[in-house]
Amino acid sequence: MRLEIGNIIIKDIQFGDKTEIKDGTLFVNKQEIIDLVLEDEHIKCADVFLARPGESVRITPVKDVVEPRVKVEGPGGVFPGVLSKVDIVGSGKTHVLKGCAVMTTGKIVGFQEGIVDMTGPGAQYTPFSKTLNIVLKADPIDGLKQHEHEKALRYAGFKTAAYLAEAGRNLEPDETEVYETLPFMEGAEKFKGLPRVAYVQMLQSQGLLHDTYVYGVDAKQIVPTILYPTELFDGAIISGNCVSSCDKNPTYVHMNNEVVKNLYKVHGKDINFVGMIITNENVYLADKERSSNWTAKLCRMLDLDGVIVSQEGFGNPDTDLIMNCKKIEKQGVKTVIITDEYAGRDGASQSLADADPLADAVVTGGNANQVIDLPPMDTVIGDTQYVDIIAGGFDGSLREDGSIEVEIQAITGATNETGFNYLTARGK
């Protein structure tokens, strides 16, 4: 499967009478977005704000981040099974408004939502301080249940991103990236002699408000399966969860998965990147055993030499991570796991809830319990009243002067487990 990504580089964002791109600036018709979002009867009110890198702006509570993309050639459309019909995506041509993002905020859905500072020490921990952000603030109608609130906000973000992406449909991209994965036997023949490597992505699926969707289907309802990695770039996997913001995968991260991109960089040179396996993270032991058994089975069926396994979240999913690792290793497949750590504020506690001697190759995204002081910002988009109760916050986190003391667990993307962050550690 071959996909061309045409990047239209966005250098600035401004409000304007018409949504369009001129000389690298994305002009946004604010009212058209508000009208689009208010088509959903579950949304009571909405507004749109702009936040640029370096500005004294705090955005919280952050729910999801989405990159504007539009399918310009090939089957299906972006966000299949959600906004587009259920065609297999990941081939043809897709245009991307690179450098900007749609961010959703408003009344809190679940307590594990995050903070994005566009400047200051907090900005050093989140990749979304570097994007030009179109921030959608939308509040639900009174009495709406949490899962319905989450869905309404999720769809509002997707619809806004799709609306903005249309401005780039007929433009010539500033740069083009090409990604291609051949069918298994063709790839084995073409790249004979290279190690066969795959990516196992664990999807958050631990229960209500801990949801990830694959072609519109809740990942709790799937068994492990194989995807072409390019399917991710068209939004085949989207976020719907409220796990801790430091290590959740917003939809933007799925669409720009760093593991996939880096494996493609060495594909056909150092390795044969044969594809990816998706699996879920379960609550009950029997479900964990089923999914990890299937994942290991698929690794053996693909005759792999090595895999990279990433998880999403921490604690309970650590068990799924270690199960996957040791069962894949026992199939004779070398395994590297990507995780983050909850080692206590002093870094002295056990980092993971589970461990095994076979998990001896580990990449870490950092310690989420590290404490940081965030200075007050001139502008707050959203509402800081929730800071004390989001994961990583505590009673007294929000000070009277607007400054915040929190664990970096509260910062969106701070310890992301696909490598879309700035922290790691090196062992000796």
> Would you say residue 421 lies in a domain?
no
> Would you say residue 42 lies in a domain?
yes
pTM for the model: 0.96
Position 209 confidence tier, pLDDT thresholds 50, 70, 90: confident
Q: What mean pLDDT is predicted for residues 157-184?
A: 97
- Give yes or no for a contact between 187 and 263, defined as CB atoms under 8 angstroms apart: no
Task: Work out whether strand 210-214 and strand 217-218 pair parallel, antiparallel, or are unpaired.
Answer: antiparallel
Q: Domain count of the chain? A: 1
DSSP assignments along 266-289, one per residue: HBTTTBEEEEEEEEE--SSHHHHH
Summarised one tens digit per residue, pLDDT across range 296-320 is 999 999 999 999 999 999 999 999 9
Q: What mean pLDDT is predicted for residues 236-254?
A: 93
> Would you say residue 36 lies in a domain?
yes
> Would you say residue 420 lies in a domain?
no
Q: Say whether 100 is catalytic.
A: no
Is residue 425's pLDDT more than 80?
A: no
Position 426 confidence tier, pLDDT thresholds 50, 70, 90: low
Summarised one tens digit per residue, pLDDT across range 46-79 is 999 999 999 999 999 999 999 999 999 999 999 9
Residue 144's domain comprises: 1-408
Reading the block at residue 338, the tokens are 């990507």
Summarised one tens digit per residue, pLDDT across range 94-147 is 999 999 999 999 998 877 899 999 999 999 999 999 999 999 999 999 999 999
> Would you say residue 352 lies in a domain?
yes
Q: What is the DSSP letter of 350?
A: -
Mean pLDDT of the chain: 95
Q: What mean pLDDT is predicted for residues 27-34?
A: 98
Q: What mean pLDDT is predicted for residues 274-282?
A: 96
pLDDT of residue 427: 62
pLDDT of residue 164: 98
> Would you say residue 428 lies in a domain?
no
Q: What mean pLDDT is predicted for residues 24-53?
A: 97
Is residue 428's pLDDT more than 90?
A: no
% pLDDT > 90, the chain: 90
> Would you say residue 417 lies in a domain?
no
Q: At what angle do helices 285-301 and 316-330 cross, to 10 degrees?
A: 30
> Would you say residue 425 lies in a domain?
no
Summarised one tens digit per residue, pLDDT across range 384-417 is 989 998 999 999 999 999 999 999 999 999 999 9
Strand order through the sheet with 25-28 = 12-15, 25-28, 20-22
Catalytic annotation, pick one of 242, 246, 299, 325:
242
